[in-house]
A and B are shown apart, each in its own frame.
Chain A
Amino acid sequence: MKQEMSLMVVFLILIVYDLFASENLKKYFQPVACLLFLAHTIYGFFPQAVGTSFAGMYVCYGAEISMKNILNIGVLLVLLQSNGWLSKEDTSFKRGEFFMLTLLTLFGMYLMISSGNFILFYIGLETASLPMAALAAFDKYKNNSAEAGAKYIFNAVFSSACLLFGLSFLYGACGTFYFEDLATCVYSTPLLVMSLVFISVGLFFKISLVPFHFWTADVYQGAPTNVTAYLSTISKGAAVFALMAILYKVFGNMYDEWQNMLWWIVLITITVGNLFAMRQTNLKRFLAFSSVSQAGYIALAVLAGSVQGMASTMYYILVYIFSNMAAFGVINAIETKTGKVDMTDYNGLYKTNPKLALAMMISVFSLGGIPPLAGFFSKFFVFTAAAAQGQYLLVLFALLNTIISLYYYLLVVKAMFINPNETPIEKFNSDGYMKISLVFCMIGLIVVGFARGIYEYLSLVGFGA
């Protein structure tokens, strides 16, 4: 409960600040907000009471706390990176709004992760979805952004409908929404299989697994880069955590069914994500498909359904947040300065902006899983977890796909370092917040890989006592 409360406190302080502060004071909004959120993030790492409250509605044990901490780190990076974009003329007046919406969605995600009852879960899900559509359409005078918002909301509604449809079967079969009670009454009858699939599909949409991923590319491309980064890391991570919680807690008895389901989904997700990613020229779209493919690897870890699988899922998301935030950070910085997002624009970037090029290189190397970066270890743990459950064929397939993914990740590196360019992006200085966040990401990408304590810690925490 502590994390929710402190988030609310941050939220309330900021809303009051935004509403009542004078123009002069508002200049300090960004640093104050970032510092407050930093405090909130650090606060989450302090030991806190675990258990259930509200008669089992709300559940919070070690795993939930760790998940929220991981999300906090990612959100902190998003907030840091937002400064450049929010300082522009057409957005600066709604800087506060961005923070409110972001923190609100985060609150919704907390509820998703910590719910012990499907009603609370649904509320959390919607709290996380609706402001997200507003965020996607944040640059509402730009057609792309408006389109992204519309597409997101339509798809979100559609997936919510599916989820509710599934929930109704579940309630019909068991007569309760409490996870604990459901766990004992769930058996693999066709009705409950339908319920499982519809509920999962509602979350697959958010994780953007194939074939529920189509919105991803359009929304990622159209939404402001900062929001895209948020969508691709935090929103996805929260949905994965929620999916994991539901599958483990509620559908534990139907392990075989959901394993089969995920098996096929992982297979096509990784492949289709890769196949599309290699054709993209717009970097945001490119990262959208890369994130589809990455979602496949995450689902592979979920599929393992073991302690190892859970630890490797959380670890993967942590690393994925660092890598993706670094990549989006670079794109964000460049887009804010020059408005360029095409891969050809990045030709010769190393000559003019070597540090950005290096950061980008390290992040795509980590995404591709090249040692000694953290991305290598996260993939390694996922494969180990899946192989331990006997999923050799799928692991082999995923391994083959990493080769394909290397191809397109290296395309980016090639563009920055090798391709010649008459008019490369000019040398520029990004703002301090961006620098801090990129440095933080780089440190994360190197340290998380080597600090073995992190993985060991994550494999100790679990759902329930």
Chain B
Amino acid sequence: MSYTLIIVALPFLMFLFLGLVGGKMKPVVAGLIGTTGLIISTVLSYIAAGSYFFSVGKIGETYQTIVPMNFEWLRFTDKLHIDLGIMLDPISVMMLVVITTVSLMVHIYSFGYMKGERGFQRYYALLSLFSFSMLGLVIAPNIFQMYIFWELVGVSSYSLIGFYYTKPSAVAASKKAFIVTRFADLFFLIGILVLSFYSGTFSFRDLTSPAGCAFAQSITDTFMGWSVVSWAMMLIFIGGAGKSAMLPFHIWLPDAMEGPTPVSALIHAATMVVAGVFLVARMFPVYIFGAPDVLTIITYIGATTALFAAVIACTQTDIKRVLAFSTISQIAYMITALGVSGYGAHEGLGYMASMFHLFTHAFFKALLFLGAGAVIHAVHSNEMDSMGGLRKYLPITHITFLIACLSISGIPPFSGFFSKDEILVAAFEKNQIVFWCLYFCAGLTAFYMFRLYYRIFWGDNNKVYQHTPHEAPASMTIPLIFLAALTCVVGFIPFSEFISTDKTVFHTHIEWSIASLSILVAVTGIAIATWMYRKKNTSSDKVTASIKGLYTAAYHKFYFDEIWIFVTKKIIFNGISQPVAWFDRHVVDGFMNLQSTITNYLSRKIKFTQSGEIQDYAWAFMMGAVVIISLLVFI
């Protein structure tokens, strides 16, 4: 299966090619080249997935981990070396499919959306770079390669968020995204180092094999009352939390919506932000055997984030920000599902559910973003207030958007229902508090999604637009239709036959008791939204007024940005940076200045010795010899 290398390498070559000579060709040609490269990658990853899941990878009832290539790059010790290679196992193959599919859709969609933009070629080059980094991340056979691509993903995300670099808000958002995720990555790196120091390996195969996990239990070293493995895994999770926008690192994601909308669909909905989920899933055996306490923390962080983001999403008026908070909330679902999972066939339901939700969410959330993009394309605004009654003008967008909304709300038979149901079942079996928290979130999700839906497509039916909105071109609607079709069907994939904690097939069925509860809450949420927003009326204002304090706090995202600003600007700058700067300026620089002053002074003083007269030279010569002899003989 070494052809999987092409899947990864091709986008990189496209990036190099478009980055170097893209500027010299016509925009459309550059776009076509990039898209062609990605089509090949996509087809190859479908072939890879087909052959992996149905022939090569499956032996009996168990999936094998295949490493088609591994190249030793830097060698430190016999055990510790950084390799570059490819590792195929169920989750990485699944991610290959998700990434290439969504990326391809975004490539096609961007033809319409980005048409006539300055830097069209650069845009496609960066998309290719991002696809490359993300693919490299998921196929990484060792944690260090993952870290390398992890950072590459961060960089390409940075440059795509700041794509409109003449816009100050976009520049600020890209910086914020980069710095916040980079800050979290620092912990990730420390975690990697601690883990590899104790385990003596970077390789996932060694780390996560049942035999490998034995190391985690055999290490008894502790640090501040916690085992070092727990520390390492916690630090690694912080890295994941940064990319996946978990509390309190979520602040960058809403701002990242400054980037072009297709970018948001690709990076901030379907791929990069699930990197954290993927990371925890990748390291799952180590978590469950080596650091179960960390897994509990992860559960609660996930549940809190899910609830918190869902509440905020109900109050936002920028449609992309609503989707951003919805993304945070849904990713938190996945994280929580991992947290409540056990190991082994049915015990590992949460793990399977998490991956399932990642899979379905990627498609319907990309669809939502692309649909939002079509809306923005039509009305040239992100604000809900400037929309309404758009269902007449944008019929295709309307239908596909509705499908996505139903799916994310958990209405059968759309895909979101199946995956969310599995998560709720897993949570119910493990932890009732978490279950009810997620359950409430499911209702909120249905509510805010339909609030969004009604305010865009219904609401003020008689709204007058300066330019009559028109349906997006085919290049934009085809991806919408394709993704909508996927959203309708992928829920029926028997996911537990492909992905499980121990890579062994098991069977699940829908728990109708929990499913009916979740449908009930979803329908309730939709009903409330319908009552409040279907027609333009004052009921929503009344509700808002009755919970004014909560509403304001949620509208301001519970003041998290302000807290961060306070911590960084007031505490860190004043308390640490300024004293350090003072020390540097006065003590360190002072020492350096002293050195240069002395040097200067001496060099002035000894100038006379170079007189240019040869008798002086001979004198110095002779004296030198005599002094040395005296030193050697008499001392």
Contact = CB atoms under 8 A, between A and B. Distances in A.
Interface of A: 151, 154-155, 158-159, 162, 190, 193-194, 196-198, 201, 205, 210-212, 214-215, 217-218, 257, 260-261, 264-265, 272, 274-276, 278-279, 400, 403-404, 407
A261 B603 contact: no
Contacts of B618: 154-155, 158
Contact of B616 (A158, A193, A212, A214): A214
B625 to A, nearest CB: 5
Nearest to B618: A158
Contact of B610 (A193, A214, A265, A274): A214
Interface in B591-634: 595-596, 599-600, 602-604, 606-607, 609-610, 612, 614, 616-618, 620-621, 623-625, 628-629, 631-633
In the complex, the 9 A-B pairs of residues with the closest C-beta atoms, listed nearest first: A275-B603, A214-B617, A211-B624, A211-B620, A201-B625, A190-B633, A197-B629, A193-B632, A197-B628
Given A193-B632, A215-B614, 19 more contacts: A151-B617, A154-B614, A155-B618, A162-B625, A190-B633, A193-B629, A193-B633, A198-B625, A201-B621, A210-B624, A214-B609, A214-B616, A214-B617, A215-B617, A218-B612, A275-B602, A276-B607, A278-B600, A279-B607
A284 to B, nearest CB: 14
B603 A278 contact: yes
B628 A272 contact: no
Given A197-B628, A260-B632, A278-B603, A217 B621 contact: no
A214 B620 contact: yes
B621 to A, nearest CB: 5
B621 A257 contact: no
A155 B628 contact: no
Contacts of A407: 596
Contact of B599 (A198, A257, A404): A404
Given A217-B610, A218-B612, A194 B629 contact: yes
A417 to B, nearest CB: 22
A275 B623 CA distance: 21
Contacts, number: 78
A354 B602 CA distance: 36
Contacts of A159: 621
A190 B635 CA distance: 12
14 contacts: A154-B614, A154-B618, A197-B629, A210-B624, A211-B620, A211-B621, A212-B621, A215-B614, A261-B632, A264-B631, A265-B628, A278-B600, A279-B607, A404-B595
Nearest to A403: B595
A218 B607 CA distance: 14
Nearest to A404: B599
A272 B604 CA distance: 11
A272 B617 contact: no
A155 B614 contact: yes
B603 A276 contact: yes
Interface residues of B, number: 26
A261 B626 CA distance: 12
Nearest to B634: A190
Contacts of B624: 201, 210-212
Contacts of B599: 274-275, 278, 404
Contacts of A205: 621
Contacts of A215: 614, 617
A214 B608 CA distance: 12
A397 to B, nearest CB: 12
- Between A194, A197, A201, A400, the greatest number of chain B beta carbons within 10 A of the residue's beta carbon is seen for A197
A396 to B, nearest CB: 13
A198 B609 CA distance: 22
A275 B614 contact: no
Nearest to A257: B632
Nearest to B626: A197
A257 B600 CA distance: 33
A190 to B, nearest CB: 5
- Between B595, B610, B632, the greatest number of chain A beta carbons within 10 A of the residue's beta carbon is seen for B632
B621 A151 contact: no
Contacts of B603: 275-276, 278-279
Interface string B568-612: 000000000000000000000000000110011011101101101
A272 B606 contact: yes
A230 to B, nearest CB: 21
A205 B621 CA distance: 8
Contacts of A218: 612
A201 B628 CA distance: 10
B575 to A, nearest CB: 32
A218 B610 CA distance: 9
A201 B631 CA distance: 14
Contacts of B631: 260-261, 264
A151 B632 CA distance: 30
A275 B597 CA distance: 12
Interface string B301-324: 000000000000000000000000
Nearest to A272: B606
A448 B139 CA distance: 37
A261 B631 CA distance: 8
B614 A264 contact: no
Nearest to A400: B595
B606 A275 contact: yes
B630 to A, nearest CB: 10
B603 to A, nearest CB: 4
Contacts of B620: 211-212, 214
Nearest to B617: A214
Contacts of A198: 625
Contacts of B604: 279
Contacts of B616: 214
Interface string B102-113: 000000000000
